[in-house]
Chain A
């Protein structure tokens, strides 16, 4: 360091000459620009921008200048140092960005690797369809009821106006339970326990529990002595509907069934009723729905057959009708004041049509490959 100039004589300080400052600045900028990584930049910064750098040292010499020259030299050095600092910051940002990019690239993984460490489960489509149907009727304000699967004959037959000699009550159709105190050859006022053959006992239980208005759906297991094949199973499910109120007629039934097929199969579909006979309804009807695949276009068009409806245009869904007033009487409801309708629809049949399932075996066997694709809701 030069001694302070106290004589105010013009003193020449070599390092503060404009050319020297410019040179130091250019060297510094070159070093910063040349820094290939953050470490090199750090070194360049120490060499050219920190306390021991030429420009910092030159700055200290300013005091040796005559007052008239100080401002000029100060400005010169200051500008040079600022330029260097700025270059360092800019270069650091550049290098950090480069580094970050490189690290992230290095850290990249194959996100397509499978992660099946914990298996996924699923619910049986009959269960989820049951829930779906319950929601469809629940949206109308109906209650969802259930009842026992082992039933008394009275609940399953007599109360539903099915006479004691009806063929459905024979062991060819109905599962009978070995019941203590019951003798089939004794007419002593005692009945057998059976596995319910329909969900209709839930109708009776609902009516015995409460007076109308009644709007209920019951979806549950029923049992008949059919052998398992592609379209039959001894254990199957029914969707049972019952409405009892003042002034209920077949038009209400028709409207409800239209609503059901539209909710379950498609908004533009219709239901159709065909006369039939059931002891518990009078009048009775077979319930068909318009084929949701061909909408009837395949009828009489052998070139475009429909596999879903066998080119019939309609699909049979179940049975229904106006509740036989005798049934109302058995359940303690005044048939002169109230009337009702009821329907029974096969849940398996609905599932098979709705989801294109060809074989009942798949529904009952419990193979995980069948159930998993249905997930937890349908």
Chain B
């Protein structure tokens, strides 16, 4: 809402020295966000005076007709001046606006006497656009005949003004008007308001223009007035054009300007129909299927059965509260009009405006609720202005179609409620005074019975009334006190583990990234994910940011690949990234969530139905790495990142969660079929790690040998803390034995190791694979695995024969399970 300060002063007697900024400082604390204070006319300095054209000499011989005028500008400005002018919309005797040498017009346009078209032009006759008063450049401004020659035109035209641009919150529809903003200004300054809607309105008559309200929920009030004999040549006065323009709209014609002016002033949108274009009476009803309407903007619109329409016997003539129809529009020759001032249901108007993508000044106000009791006053105001400025006459008949029930019951609040909500004492009298200031009727002593004014449909609950008191008393009065919480329980185990995982990966050299969860089919294709893979059944965003990424991720890898590619593209060849975040897995057979009640707690069953509609959203952790893991340097050579590093990253995560992963060979996209590990915990698959498939890397534009891992972090994090038992530490000496075992090449080392552990029994303290050999010194198709076993007893020093027995048992177990043979 743009509020010109000069217009506001019409309703509130603000002291003359109050500036726009000062007013803003008062309005902001009571809930009006003043975004800017425009200094209108700041770029213009005089002399700018009223002149009278004495005579006009038509100059010929130039590309266009030019006039050399003798203009009387008053004795103080040198009497009469010769001014060259290209406009033709004036005649001798007209009063005009003359900018004289020394004046500066907007855009730093300096006026000086200069020779042009063979004459010295001693100033300029101005158009509205040249003065920054609007876009009109079809001719110069012709002033009314009653202005004084030589008078200061800056003041006369109201060029200098301040305009507050206010972001009105959606609950305060009444402030989308001068009336509403004037009310708040009056409260802020403790002054009296001259309410522009307090007009004498004639009583409805029964013989007025016929109006039928066929949809009382959509339209419960419709005031219709007829004005006849409007002078088609009459134009809006400058002051009205100026105000409309300062308020952010465009002056168009007298009739349209008056409806807009009254809308800005009182907040009630009006519509003017050309009376002779109406066919029969008006009915307000919903659209029928298949109906169409051509609106004022010349667009033909298919109507929805939920659209509320103004119709006559010819059919639809307007989208109620949104935009009028072209067929009954007022035009240059209109002399008789029907003025509509109606009240429409906010939600109906909001939906229609949204459905037809037609936000208008009218719909913006109706959506936020218009004062239903202002309709008659607004219609009267428009009638008065048409009669005055259009030299017209109003019909005595007054149509007021209304189905509006009596106002709802008053709100009962405890006089102490505002104080309790704020946390300080206001006292009953302050509470009552503030509520009365906003227009409420207040009765009662301790229990207040409060009836909000008709323009405040937003005041429905006790807390709404409390807010009015608190904001007007000032939010700055609210004290600061820190509430005391009961004993806390700190972070949950899962929250602590998530932190630990992030920290462990960062400590291990990975850099955390946080990617958008939006992915596309193309990325899953590039990853080689099979058509029937669960990762393909992703949720789809109906209105995605990018049409290429409409899916919600089922894996973190696509985002990591894109970010890795970005980093590599920016010149980093050795990059290790990780991300933790949710993935979204629709539940098979899930259906849309129920709409639950809001006037009570939903039942357990209702809530369970809602939860069942949501997808599973487990937290995953994933990492990608490329380039060298250990760099080359003065110490010697570097080491490329390998599949083993990716698996190690997974182990790091598991260790942070206190879990130990089982690693098995597997084939799973997008990993290299021979370099992919499936990771499980308690026989349950929790993730994959390894080197990525060369084809996938090629398709994704990633460097060769890039590696990755992904784990379901939720599956790794236990619900309850694992209580580690303190081990018994033996002080007896260790017995170390090494065994080299030859197995077939395909046998996983992990299998041999677990067989050794099983065979060795309780005396085994640790086992470690320290060498893998394939080559000439073992048979083809086999490999040699060298393990070092450490044996120790808790109660004695082991004897040589005991050590040998354990070793033999371990080897025998390996032989039994994996066909391992002691290397000769």
Contact = CB atoms under 8 A, between A and B. Distances in A.
B509 A193 contact: no
Contacts of A248: 483
B63 interface: no
Q: How large is the interface on B (under 10, 10 to 19, 20 to 34, 35 or more residues)?
A: 35 or more
Interface in A253-294: 254-256, 258-259, 272-277, 282-286
A326 B630 contact: no
B486 A282 contact: no
Given A150-B617, A283-B421, A364-B516, A140 B595 contact: no
Interface string B492-522: 1001000100110111111111111100000
Contact of A213 (B347, B485, B552, B575): B485
Contacts of B463: 282-283, 322, 324-325
B424 interface: yes
Contacts of B539: 150, 177-178, 193
Contacts of B634: 113-114
B482 interface: yes
A251 B478 contact: yes
Interface string B812-824: 0000000000000
A22 interface: no
A252 B595 CA distance: 33
Interface string A304-331: 0000000000000000001011100111
A332 B629 CA distance: 55
A367 B567 contact: yes
Contact of A285 (B347, B475, B574, B591): B475
Interface string B458-487: 000111101100110001101111110111
Interface string B568-580: 0010101111100
Given A117-B635, A154-B593, A277-B169, A243 B570 contact: no
A274 B601 CA distance: 31
Contact of B481 (A119, A142, A255): A255
A135 B402 CA distance: 59
Interface string B88-108: 000000000000000000000
B421 A189 contact: no
Contact of B506 (A122, A213, A274, A275): A122
Interface in B11-52: 28-31, 33
A191 B593 contact: yes
B391 interface: no
Interface string B155-197: 0000000000000011110000000000000000000000000
A366 B563 contact: yes
A259 B490 CA distance: 19
A246 to B, nearest CB: 11
Given A117-B631, A138-B490, A152-B613, A366 B577 contact: yes
A212 to B, nearest CB: 10
Interface in B395-447: 420-424
Contacts of B613: 152, 179, 193
Given A127-B512, A245-B483, A329 B590 contact: no
Contacts of B482: 140, 252, 255-256, 258-259
B615 A275 contact: no
Contacts of A181: 591-592
Contacts of A322: 421, 463
Given A141-B485, A283-B467, A339 B614 contact: no
B470 A252 contact: no
Interface in A138-169: 138, 140-144, 148-155, 158-159, 161, 163-165, 167
A274 B28 contact: yes
A195 B819 CA distance: 55
Given A177-B542, A255-B482, A322-B463, A275 B475 contact: yes
Nearest to A131: B499
A353 interface: no
Contacts of B505: 121
Contact of A119 (B28, B576, B598): B576
B595 A189 contact: yes
A68 B564 CA distance: 101
Contact of B467 (A117, A123, A167, A282): A282
Contacts of A123: 502-503, 506, 512
Nearest to A161: B598
A251 B463 CA distance: 15
A171 B512 CA distance: 31
Interface stretch (A43-51, A53-61, A368-376): A368-376
A357 B600 CA distance: 45
Interface in A223-242: 225, 227, 234-235
Contacts of B545: 225, 227, 234
A284 B421 CA distance: 11
Contact of A182 (B461, B479, B592): B592
A251 B577 contact: no
Contact of A249 (B422, B490, B584, B599): B422
B502 A127 contact: yes
A115 B422 CA distance: 60
Given A131-B499, A250-B422, A275 B31 contact: yes
B138 to A, nearest CB: 38
A365 interface: yes
Nearest to B545: A234
A150 B543 contact: no
Contacts of B346: 165
Given A180-B592, A213-B486, A251-B480, A371 B347 contact: no
Contacts of B199: none
A181 B609 CA distance: 13
A325 B465 CA distance: 13
Interface in A81-128: 113-124, 126-127
A190 B480 contact: no
Contact of A371 (B28, B479, B513, B600): B513
Contacts of B33: 274, 276, 286
B420 A249 contact: yes
A170 interface: yes
A329 B495 contact: no
B423 A119 contact: no
A215 interface: yes
A180 B464 contact: no
Given A189-B595, A234-B545, A252-B423, A276 B31 contact: yes
B592 A273 contact: no
A164 B350 CA distance: 11
Contact of A284 (B467, B481, B592): B467
A326 B421 contact: no
Contact of B511 (A163, A227, A325, A372): A372
Contact of B633 (A116, A177, A252): A116
A225 B33 CA distance: 24
Nearest to A276: B169
B541 interface: yes
B471 to A, nearest CB: 4
Interface string A196-227: 00000000000010000101000001000101
B360 to A, nearest CB: 15
Interface in B531-569: 539-545, 552, 563, 566-567
Given A190-B593, A250-B421, A175 B543 contact: yes
Contacts of B750: none
A330 B543 contact: no
Given A127-B514, A171-B542, A227-B545, A275 B467 contact: yes
Given A123-B503, A148-B582, 11 more contacts: A117-B635, A118-B629, A121-B512, A165-B346, A213-B486, A215-B483, A215-B485, A221-B581, A255-B479, A276-B169, A283-B463
25 contacts: A115-B635, A116-B633, A117-B631, A119-B509, A121-B506, A121-B507, A122-B512, A124-B514, A127-B512, A134-B495, A149-B517, A149-B584, A150-B539, A167-B354, A175-B542, A180-B592, A191-B595, A193-B615, A215-B486, A221-B582, A250-B423, A252-B481, A258-B480, A282-B461, A332-B602
